[in-house]
């Protein structure tokens, strides 16, 4: 800036969005399936193997009794969106890293090396209905936090409602 003040470098990836068709989901149940790993994970590639626990959660929330430090999660299922619009998703993670996939497309990637709280956004053009959904997350700190929010059609950014998740 003219006054000598500097800011962080920001970068982005831009692609022309194509409408993603919904899929058929036979007898879906509410909630997301999760896999919980209680081990030291330093990259997304290390979230594999036999999980310490599996189950269903109503939304992107941590199951009870999580590790005080090292842990990883995989959430999978469907997200059922109400309208044909471009959705902007935002992933907030504190002391952790996360990837969001919808229709096998990497919508949000906040795996950059950062020291503090971090949030990243990504957009995807979705037709109404069910879309395959997956989040991978890991942390190395006891102050873990993971939040998924969404905005579309000029609406306020809000946490994705549990009623949108199925498995």
CA dist 119 and 45 (Å) reads 21
Residue 10 lies in a domain: no
Determine what percent of the chain falls in helix, strand and coil, rounding each to the nearest 5: 5, 50, 50
Residue 103 makes CB contacts below 8 A (sequence gap 6+) with 20, 124, 126, 131, 132
Q: What pTM was computed for the model? A: 0.86
Residue 83 lies in a domain: yes
pLDDT at position 96 is: 83
CA–CA–CA angle 42, 45, 46 (5° rounding):
55
Half-sphere exposure of 103 (CA within 13 A, CB side): 19
Residue 93 lies in a domain: yes
Does pLDDT of 45 surpass 80? Answer: yes
Does pLDDT of 113 surpass 70? Answer: no
Residue 20 lies in a domain: no
Residue 162 lies in a domain: yes
Residue 142 lies in a domain: yes
Residue 64 lies in a domain: yes
- Which CATH number characterizes residue 63's domain? 2.60.120.260
Domain range for 66: 32-166
pLDDT at position 116 is: 55
Residue 117 lies in a domain: yes
pLDDT at position 4 is: 82
Does pLDDT of 115 surpass 60? Answer: no
The strand pairing partners of 146, in sequence order, are 93
SS3 at position 135: strand
CA dist 138 and 58 (Å) reads 19
Does pLDDT of 84 surpass 70? Answer: yes
Q: Provide the domain count of the chain.
A: 1
């Amino acid at each position: 800036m003219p006054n000598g003040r500097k800011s962080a470098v920001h970068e982005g990836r831009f692609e022309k969005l194509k409408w993603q068709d919904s899929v058929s989901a036979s007898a879906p149940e509410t909630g997301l399936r999760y896999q919980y790993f209680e081990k030291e994970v330093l990259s997304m590639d290390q979230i594999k193997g036999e999980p310490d626990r599996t189950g269903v959660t109503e939304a992107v929330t941590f199951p009870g009794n999580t590790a005080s430090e090292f842990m990883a999660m995989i959430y999978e299922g469907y997200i059922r969106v109400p309208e044909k619009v471009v959705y902007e998703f935002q992933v907030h993670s504190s002391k952790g890293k996360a990837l969001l996939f919808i229709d096998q497309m990497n919508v949000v990637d906040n795996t950059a090396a950062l020291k503090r709280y971090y949030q990243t956004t990504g957009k995807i053009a979705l037709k109404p209905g069910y879309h395959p959904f997956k989040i991978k997350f890991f942390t190395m700190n006891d102050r873990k936090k993971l939040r998924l929010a969404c905005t579309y059609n000029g609406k306020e950014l809000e946490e994705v409602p549990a009623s949108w998740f199925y498995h």
